[in-house]
Chains A and B, each alone.
Chain A
Amino acid sequence: MPDLGLEVLFKGINALRLLQGLWTALRISLISVVISMPLGILLGSLMTLKNPVLKVILRVYLEFIRIMPQLVLLFIVFFGSTAAFGVNLSGELSSIIVFSLWGTAEMGDLVRGALISIPVHQYESSEALGLSKIQMYRYIIIPQTVRRLIPLSINLITRMIKTTSLVLMIGVIEVLKVAQQIIEANRMSSPNAAFGIYLTVFVLYFLACWPISMLAKYFEKKWRDA
C-alpha cells in the first residue's frame, strides 16, 4: 500500500482542526440556508405575481446573481465593501451575505418553478368545489408545491455546502484551508500527506452531504407523482 501520509492526521490536534474547519464551512452554509429559504419562498411567490415592474426587478436580481461566479461575488462583497464604503466585513460575514444572496435567488427560482408547474385545472377544480382562495392554497396548492420543492431545495443545500470551499479565497479558515495548512506544515516530515489529507477532506464533505442527498432521494421516491 502506498504511503498516504495519514499519520499526519494524528499529530497534535490536526484531526480536530479539520473537523473545526468543516464546522466553519457547515456553519456558513447552514446560516445562509436558514436565511435564504424563507426569503427565496417570498421571492419566488412574488415572481409569480403579474406586476411587470416587480417582475423585471426580480428577474434582473436573479440573473445577475446566477450569472456571476460565486467567487466574484465573494470578492465584490469582501474587498468591494471595504474599498467603496470603508466597512470592514469579516470573511465569514461576507461569505454568509454572498451565500444568502445566492441561495435566495436559486431558491426563488425553484419556488417560482414549482408554483407555475401546478396545472391550472388544480386551481379550477378547487374553485369549482367552492373552496375559498385561502382554502385552495392551504389544502391544494401549497401541499403540492412543497412536495415538488423539498427534494430540489435539499439539493440546493448540498450545493451550498460544497461551494463553501471557495471562501478560503477571502481568508476564511474552513476545512480545505485547514487541510492546506496541515499539508504545508508537514511538507518535510510527510511529503505524501497531500493525498491522505485531501482524501480525508473528501470523506468529510461526503459525510456531510451524503445523508442530505439521501434524504432528497427518499422524498422524491415518497412523492413520486404528487
Chain B
Amino acid sequence: MDSLLQVRNLTKKFGENTILDGISLDVSQGEVVVLVGPSGCGKSTLLRCMNGLEPIQGGEILLDGQKIEKGSKELTKIRQKIGMVFQSYDLFPHLKVLDNITLAPIKVQKRDKQDAEKEARELLVRVGLEDKADSYPRELSGGQKQRVAIVRALIMQPEVMLFDEVTAALDPEMVREVLDVILQLARQGKTMVIVTHEMAFAQAIADRILFLEGGHIQEDSDPDTFFTNPKTERAKQFLQMFTFEK
C-alpha cells in the first residue's frame, strides 16, 4: 500500500526539552493509526506537527509527497487535505452550527453556498444533529459540539483526519456518541490518526497502535498484540494503569 502521510526523522523541541526525538512513521491510505502513551509523551504534539501547528526542529512531514511546514506558503492548501478535531470544543461561538460548517468550504474552497449548505445538512443527519443546524454552539452539549466539529472538518473532504483527544473533556455519557461517529468513519475507510486515552476504543478502531514514550515510538503493532501481549516492559506498565484488581 502507498503511504499517504510520511513522517521522517521528526525532531521537536520546546526550548531545551526534546519532546519528539527522531520519529518516523507511515500512514497508508485507509489506515486507522492510534497513538497511545502516558501524558506528556508528545502524542498530541506529534499530531499538531502533522498539521503544521508546531514548528519542528528536524526531519520532515509529507502528505502526498508535499511538505507540511509551519510558515510555508503552501500550508493553507495542504491543510485543506487534513481535517483536525481538537480536545477543546473549538467551534466558532459567534456562528450558527450551519455557518460553522460551511465557512471554510465557501471561503477557502470557494464552493457554492447552497451546495455547501446542502452537504452540511446531509452530514449533520449522519451524526444525528439535523435539528441543530440553526443553533449556536452555546446551545449544544459537549458531545454535540464535538460531532459538529467532526462534520466541520469532514466537509472539506480531507484525505486524512486527525483526532486530538476529542473525548478527554467530555462527560462520560457523551463519550460514546462521539466515538460512534469516528467508528462510522473508520468503516467508510477514512484515513485517520487518533490520539486517545480510551483504550477499549483504541482496541476496537485501530489498524495499528503506536505506543509513544520518551520521544520515541516504543512499539508499533496491531491492536490485538499490543493489548494482549505487549512487547516492551514500558507498554506493559502503561497498560496496567487501565486494569484493576481487587
Chain B residues contacting A69 (CB-CB under 8 Å) are: none
A140 touches B92 (CB 8 A): yes
Asked if A144 and B93 make an inter-chain contact with CB atoms under 8 angstroms apart, the answer reads: yes
**Could you tell me the distance between the alpha carbons of A83 and B140 in the complex, rounded to whole angstroms?**
63
A147 at the interface (CB under 8 A from B): yes
Q: Bound state CA distance, A3 and B88, in angstroms?
A: 65
With both beta carbons as reference points, the residue of chain A lying nearest to B78 in the complex is identified as: A130
Minimum distance in angstroms from B110 CB to a CB of chain A: 12
Task: Report A126 CB to chain B, min CB distance, Å.
Answer: 8
Within the complex, what minimum Cβ distance (angstroms) separates B242 from chain A? Answer: 28
The answer to whether B138 and A130 touch across the interface, beta carbons within 8 angstroms, is no
Closest to A140 in B: B92
- Tell me which of A125, A135, A224 contacts B90 (CB under 8 A): A125
Say whether, besides A128-B84, A130-B76, A130-B77, A121 and B104 are in contact (CB < 8 Å): no
| Complex CA–CA separation, A143 to B103 (angstroms) | 14
Give complex CA distance A128, B47 in Å. 12
With A124-B86, A225-B138 known as contacts, the answer to whether A130 contacts B93 (CB < 8 A) is no
Q: Which residues of B contact A130 (CB under 8 A)?
A: 76-77, 79-80, 104, 108, 156
- Determine the chain A residues whose CB is within 8 A of the CB of B152 once the complex forms: 129
23 sample A-B contacts, Cβ–Cβ < 8 Å, listed by A number: A119-B90, A121-B86, A121-B88, A124-B53, A125-B90, A125-B149, A126-B92, A127-B52, A128-B51, A128-B79, A128-B82, A128-B153, A129-B80, A129-B104, A130-B80, A131-B103, A132-B76, A132-B108, A135-B107, A139-B103, A143-B94, A225-B136, A226-B136
